[in-house]
């Protein structure tokens, strides 16, 4: 089979399920990965015969895409903050808006001589590892309830040659953290069960529920617990950062104010949605 014929088969298999631009993007991504060809090269070499091994790889990808499996899980990797990350079904796929949260923290702490930092609910490690990579003077710890997620985070630490501490802990059952920190950051579960209907199948069917959803009647459950721990485990004047549910920014500000934090700032993401918040423990 030629690349031209493969592309036609690929498109015909998926066009009923995805927009044509997305199908083209999938084909380009897989061609880069399996054939080592750029998008333009697949045009220039359209009559090239592909191997049975490559044909099998593409057909396996088609099968998985038909089940709405994210392309990142099919490849087993993605990129976050210009760094490579392994991903699988035990961790969320890092989002571009989370990069903005990381960038905010780097901007605030890049000139500090020493920073102790804790990332709660680390998943793939994307937040904590990106901070450790870019803040060379920071001592970074990452925490997650999932042993399988921490295994992925450990792989990613090796992949990016960063040295961090790993903590396996259920934050909701935790009453004490190992030390005082200059920064605590978290992107905890914040999607209410009632919001599931608006989500795409690739998220609903494949990404881990444990890292995504909270009950409708207590959507700030994780934020309350982390804010409480932060009050006793942040150094005076230290900062707490969260990624948040866009619909609950006012509730978040009230929660943090009631928890005794100062200088509460809500920041919009690239899509204009209230997506992150920063606050400071009083001196």
At residue 29, the pLDDT reads 97
Per-residue confidence (pLDDT) for residue 171, from 0 to 100: 95
Asked whether residue 283 carries a pLDDT value surpassing 80, the answer given is no
Mean pLDDT for the chain? 95
Condensed to tens digits (0 to 9), the pLDDT of residues 254-264 reads 999 999 999 99
CA angle at 93 for the pair 88 and 97, rounded to the nearest 5°: 165
Task: Tell me if 115 sits within 8 A of 182, measured CB to CB.
Answer: yes
- Residue 159's pLDDT band, with cuts at 50, 70 and 90, is very high
Q: What tokens appear for 250 in the block?
A: 């006012």
What proportion of the chain, given as a percentage, has pLDDT over 90? 88
Scan for tokens 């905890």, then name that residue.
188
Return the pLDDT at 198.
81
| Cα 97 to Cα 65, 227, 280, distances in angstroms | 24, 22, 22
| pTM for the full predicted model | 0.93
Q: What is the predicted pLDDT for the residue at 186?
A: 97
- Cα separations in angstroms, 206 against 46, 68, 191, 210, 273: 33, 8, 15, 12, 25
For 191-230, the pLDDT digits (tens) are: 888 888 788 888 888 988 888 888 888 899 999 999 999 9
């Amino acid at each position: 089979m030629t690349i031209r014929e493969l592309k036609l088969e690929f498109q015909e298999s998926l066009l009923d399920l995805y927009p044509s631009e997305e199908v083209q993007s999938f084909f380009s991504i897989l061609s880069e990965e399996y054939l080592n060809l750029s998008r333009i090269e697949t045009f220039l070499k359209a009559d090239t015969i592909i191997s049975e091994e490559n044909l099998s790889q593409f057909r396996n990808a088609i099968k998985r895409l038909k089940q709405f499996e994210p392309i990142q899980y099919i490849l087993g990797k993605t990129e976050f903050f210009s760094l490579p990350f392994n991903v699988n079904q035990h961790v969320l796929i890092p989002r571009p808006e989370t990069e903005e949260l990381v960038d905010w923290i780097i901007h605030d702490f890049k000139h500090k001589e020493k920073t102790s930092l804790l990332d709660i609910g680390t998943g793939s490690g994307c937040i904590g590892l990106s901070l450790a990579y870019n803040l060379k003077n920071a001592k970074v710890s990452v925490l997650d309830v999932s042993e399988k997620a921490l295994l992925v985070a450990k792989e990613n630490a090796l992949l990016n040659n960063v040295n961090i501490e790993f903590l396996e802990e259920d934050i909701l059952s935790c009453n004490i953290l190992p030390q005082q920190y200059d920064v605590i950051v978290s992107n905890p579960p914040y999607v209410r069960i009632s919001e599931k209907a608006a989500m795409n199948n690739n998220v609903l069917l494949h990404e881990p529920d444990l890292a995504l959803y909270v009950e409708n009647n207590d959507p700030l459950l994780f934020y309350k617990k982390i804010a409480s721990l932060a009050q006793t485990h942040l150094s005076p004047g230290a900062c707490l950062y969260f990624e948040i549910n866009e619909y609950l920014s006012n509730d978040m500000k009230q929660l943090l104010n009631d928890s005794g934090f100062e200088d509460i700032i809500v920041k919009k993401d690239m899509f204009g949605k209230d997506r992150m918040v920063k606050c400071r423990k009083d001196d």
